[in-house]
Amino acid sequence: MTNKKTIMFDINNILRSNIKNLKPYSSARDEFQGEASVYLDANENAFGSPLHTSYNRYPDPMQYQVKMRLAEIKGVPPRNIFLGNGSDEAIDILFRSFCNPGVDNVILVPPTYGMYEVSANINDVETRKVNLTDDYQLNLEGIAEAIDKNTKIIFVCSPNNPTGNSINRDDIETLLANFQGLVVVDEAYINFSRQKTFIQELTEYANLVVLQTLSKAWGLAGLRVGMAFASEEIIEVMNRVKPPYNINEASQQLALEALQNTEQVNNWIKETLAERDKLVLQLKEFDFVVDIYPSDANFILVKTTDAKGIYTFLVNNGIIVRDRSKVELCEGSLRITVGTPQENTILINTLKNFK
């Protein structure tokens, strides 16, 4: 593969034929937009909700206000933004739009985020796995060999979960420049990273989809709001395939409110990074810590001499981390999320008692 902008990407070559011809559901809120005094078009309860706030009306199916605010923050027009019920929904919709069940395949680069495989399995799409190298980077030759005419998507998570490192930018660009299908760059942890986002590359690569989420740095995992950034053509397809009201009204309102508070989020990011560095230094002092991989995320992958023993010991002390020791290339490793200063202190003090 060469790192040149060579391919001519045509969405029609990878779109499922049933989706190409799909006429989407037309909701009441799609048919009439604007202000009216009496709404008798959607079979809602006109009296209200048995709550302090009324949620008796269906939400905006296209989440226009949230997208307008995100457009300001991300520097990309609303027409290039898709919102999902978490970025997990965006992943599922990519499968449903572009991968023919029982025929097509996608490339995964383990160890990586588990939902790509689960979504593939749900949609009956073959996964071709090309492991990351020993330093958790892309094996470009292996990927090139695994691609065939039915390969529709390559998923790259950067910073990667569970390893925490960023994937080399040039390697991702090589995929974008040479692969005829979609390259999905999952940037769930980008706010913690030293690398810049791929969103700016959307004008360069028509086959790029960038995933981000409000679940991590933004502190809104409970609201379920994820984002996909891509060409207008790709976003249009995803909007046709999604359930009509996939982001509920409470989530839209609260996300909009939260998106005004960038200062708070930026302060938390700074604090998380400082805590991460401190945690790394403290963990390195323990004899049972073999290695800590450089992290660009809000978690660290820690290789230990006894992952299962440490995991169980921590659980017994009320502390839950993620045991990744059964994952290929993560043998002996625990994935630890950076907590508040107080939580991190409890973790370190508890580990001092591990024999």
Catalog residues that contact ligand PLP under the rule CB under 6 A. 86-88, 113, 157, 161, 186, 188, 213, 215, 221, 226
3 state SS of 166? coil
The 8-class DSSP code of residue 221 comes to: G
Rounded to whole angstroms, the Cα distance separating 104 from 101 reads 6
Q: Please say which residue, 97 or 215, places its beta carbon nearer to ligand PLP.
A: 215
Amino acid identity at 19? I
We find the least distance from the C-beta atom of residue 188 to ligand PLP, in angstroms, to be 4
We find the least distance from the C-beta atom of residue 2 to ligand PLP, in angstroms, to be 28
Residue 312 tokens read as 């169980």
We find the least distance from the C-beta atom of residue 216 to ligand PLP, in angstroms, to be 7
262-284 and 341-351 helices, crossing angle to 10°: 10
Rounded to whole angstroms, the Cα distance separating 353 from 344 reads 15
Rounded to whole angstroms, the Cα distance separating 114 from 264 reads 30
Would you tell me how many other CB atoms lie within 10 Å of the CB of residue 206? Answer: 17
We find the least distance from the C-beta atom of residue 158 to ligand PLP, in angstroms, to be 9
Q: Please say which residue, 110 or 226, places its beta carbon nearer to ligand PLP.
A: 226
Amino acid identity at 250? A
Q: Please say which residue, 51 or 73, places its beta carbon nearer to ligand PLP.
A: 73
We find the least distance from the C-beta atom of residue 225 to ligand PLP, in angstroms, to be 7
We find the least distance from the C-beta atom of residue 196 to ligand PLP, in angstroms, to be 18
- Residue 78: beta bridge partners? none
Torsion of CA 129, 172, 197, 64, to 10 degrees: -70
- Which residues are within 8 A (CB) of 337 and not within 5 positions of it... i.e. 6 or more apart? 298, 299, 321, 322
Rounded to whole angstroms, the Cα distance separating 182 from 209 reads 7
We find the least distance from the C-beta atom of residue 82 to ligand PLP, in angstroms, to be 12
- Which residues are within 8 A (CB) of 284 and not within 5 positions of it... i.e. 6 or more apart? 292
Instruction: Look at the chain and count its residues.
Output: 355
We find the least distance from the C-beta atom of residue 88 to ligand PLP, in angstroms, to be 4
Would you tell me how many other CB atoms lie within 10 Å of the CB of residue 284? Answer: 11
Q: Please say which residue, 11 or 106, places its beta carbon nearer to ligand PLP.
A: 106
Q: Please say which residue, 255 or 351, places its beta carbon nearer to ligand PLP.
A: 255
Q: Please say which residue, 163 or 344, places its beta carbon nearer to ligand PLP.
A: 163
| Nearest residue to ligand PLP, by Cβ distance, number only | 86
Q: Please say which residue, 88 or 104, places its beta carbon nearer to ligand PLP.
A: 88
Q: Please say which residue, 221 or 290, places its beta carbon nearer to ligand PLP.
A: 221
Q: Please say which residue, 155 or 179, places its beta carbon nearer to ligand PLP.
A: 155
We find the least distance from the C-beta atom of residue 175 to ligand PLP, in angstroms, to be 17
Residue 130 tokens read as 């090309």
The 8-class DSSP code of residue 321 comes to: -
Rounded to whole angstroms, the Cα distance separating 103 from 157 reads 24
